[in-house]
Chains A and B, each alone.
Chain A
Amino acid sequence: MLSGIANDLERYMNLLSARQKVVASNIANADTPGYQTQDIDFEAEFRAAAGGTPAAFPVSGLPEKNDGNNVSLDREARLLAENGIRFNLASNLMRTQIQEIRAALQSGSNP
């Protein structure tokens, strides 16, 4: 019943929460020796037709500390905020989709 936009929004929100989980793992492992920062390729995952499981890969080009850990808390804080804002936008868009359907239902019951 919901339009194709709502399906895309759903996948977008799913990917955002997957990415937020990767960011949470990176922050939790900020002091783990040898841990490499993980991320998902957001655009490629979104373009892939089948939802499937997003693949995590190590991020290159980050400065590595002496213990082999390359988590940058600044980078993770930025991603954390960015994901939150994107999710906020997507959930507001989704709400308008639901409200449209609700309006259609109500106009049918109260002519």
Chain B
Amino acid sequence: MSLFSAMAVSASGMSAQRTRAELLVENLANAETTRTPEGGPYRRKDAVFASQPMGAAFGSLFEEHLQEGVTVEEISLDSRPPERRYMPGHPDAGPDGYVAFPRIDPAADMVDLTGAARGFQANVAAIAAVKDMLMRSIDLFK
């Protein structure tokens, strides 16, 4: 039944957008974090999406090539050097008095967070539309 796999595709989109939103929230929470288990300041994380062919639910090969879900392929770490602020009194200050802070722009992350929320909503709307089609098919039995 091809409509059920359309729901699976939308669900993969919801899951990917949720992962992205979680990473963005983590970035915002750690915008001033100077200590991490790996050492050094926190580094901004972002989700890299990749499209992924979805396996059909009941082995039906019909239309399998039509459906492409989405998956989080990797979580990329910001490779830019950290932001240096002159704070000689800070416990993590280097010998020159500069402290390495994460290079995080809260405004940019908030914009991305809004985008992730809208992407999530679009997938929810797609599921609702497909569900409506399924229910109408079931109504044919009445």
Contact = CB atoms under 8 A, between A and B. Distances in A.
A49 interface: no
**Interface majority SS (helix, strand, loop, mixed), chain B:** helix
B136 A91 contact: yes
B123 A21 contact: no
B82 interface: no
Contacts of A38: 66, 68
A17 B126 contact: no
B20 A27 contact: no
Nearest to A80: B129
Given A17-B3, A80-B129, A28 B139 contact: no
Contacts of A16: 133
Contact of A32 (B6, B51, B62, B136): B51
**Interface majority SS (helix, strand, loop, mixed), chain A:** helix
A56 interface: yes
Interface residues of A, number: 37
29 contacts: A17-B2, A17-B6, A17-B133, A21-B67, A24-B6, A25-B66, A25-B69, A27-B126, A28-B68, A28-B69, A28-B70, A28-B126, A29-B70, A30-B13, A30-B122, A31-B115, A32-B50, A33-B49, A35-B51, A56-B65, A73-B118, A76-B122, A77-B122, A80-B125, A80-B126, A81-B129, A84-B132, A88-B132, A91-B139
Given A21-B2, A31-B115, 17 more contacts: A17-B6, A17-B133, A21-B67, A24-B10, A24-B67, A24-B130, A27-B13, A31-B20, A31-B70, A32-B49, A38-B68, A53-B63, A80-B126, A84-B132, A88-B136, A91-B136, A94-B140
Interface of A: 13-14, 16-18, 20-25, 27-33, 35, 38, 40, 53-54, 56, 73, 76-77, 80-81, 83-84, 87-88, 91, 94-95, 98
